[in-house]
Structure 1
């Protein structure tokens, strides 16, 4: 497995590769700093993540991301090329992924045409493959802890690459999990055992994957899911999916753009994804399938899916859902939450 291949000086990255971190090269900004586009002397395009000097978690995130990403190589993970350390400056150098993040395609249709089902399904399966590698095939057991649409990048062929490993946790293969008092992640994507008790296991990523899968199918954000039966009712997405599944109306979960696309895809494939999504958000972690099982479910339509049970979080309206999760976070004296709503 290759080590990061470029160790560039801060001066080179600032003055040459990124044009003094010009705003014109800015790709995005998160809780830990800014990401900018750059170019190496050999012509390769790169993405440079500049950690904020005012972030109390900057050093810890930097070390975590370098040490983890140096051990990983998979087509569905963004690749770390190198890093730079100078004084308080912390720079991470990644491969440039030209189509940006998934959330821009799924949620911002003023900028992009809606994705067809073939592309969405390829993205879903690619994310699943990346998580199987992290959980089982990398030689370690790595739990991402902040899987969401903003942390999935799309290459020129719309293949997904999981990014942002600053909050990931590494375990040896014989470790089943751990507990933490420092809760990090994004509101609405956390499993209940993690949000309430700080329990970390691969089933946390399974839960987050399910929320992301249902967002891709529906074309709506989990935190602002709008009930298609009502123009005014904003409902928690998992609650709506479960109710409609029980009523036999799970088609309501499918993005209307897909239903009217006429591209010959089977609605049954979309409903199968909704079914898999509900299996992955069941209340108890042991009830949820592993990502390896999910990958099989997505690849082999002949595999019979078990019936799901009620999701971990269930509320008729989004405000009640927010109150329930806020109470969970308040039980953690040392909680640290990167976002209260999905970016």
Structure 2
């Protein structure tokens, strides 16, 4: 038991875990929020602006009760709102690309929290999860892989390498400070990834347990009622066609509850992969049949935290292989080409 605890603490402080998964979360939520803001651009004033039915004055009254805050309510000026919206779009794009990720991640969390709080009654649940993940990602080293920061660090290392401080008193002090900073960054990153994984487990587990308590999920009719809600019928004909298959509806109800309740208990075995695949199918079905793409996409991105780095490393090799084949006729292939396709990134960035 003590050996396992020691091994856990060694893992916690010595090396950052799931760097590729953190990068996927950064890219996924940055892209998702960027698309969300661009999609709602024509309706931005009605949702978040001074012309919204939920006025800035009403929002400030709610903030006095809830303790929330938003940069959008600092001024009722339309020019100020347009500036904030432009900053939000640019921030989402920079977060997606991984430019100065350490600082931009903080700004992205502020943007998501501000837009979420400004119009809290006009959401579908997806932005709640995005807000949580945006806050958690602030503490992670999500810019170490697949980012502009990683590319800049790789080019800097290839150009001059790391310069070790001289073994003087000042040099040793700088080296100790650098090592301490690396340890703090590693611990924060690992704790952030553990919290993200625990949050997703809690979401699935609590959702499944709440469903078990409901009679409609127990008798297999819950999805029938969901498919007949006019508010969640983007394609009524498709919903009706699915609803006609009662046996499929009942099986989907039972399978949904089983997957959600069992999810936290299958993460440490090979059953994790088929369960993640079935959850992906479930979220795609929710997006298509119920018209909740933001919620489904946010959950799909969150599930990516449970895939190991070797999966993303292999995926990177697979994606880059066609480009190397295309350039094979232009220059001779270097020995061992696969080793340099997804190089190990040096040191923390930001």
Q: Answer yes or no: same fold by TM over 0.5.
A: no
Structure with more strand by fraction: 1
Which entry has the higher C-alpha Rg, 1 or 2? 2
Relative to the length of structure 2, the TM-score reads: 0.32
Structure with more helix by fraction: 2
Relative to the length of structure 1, the TM-score reads: 0.33
- Larger relative contact order (CA 8 Å, sep ≥ 6): 2
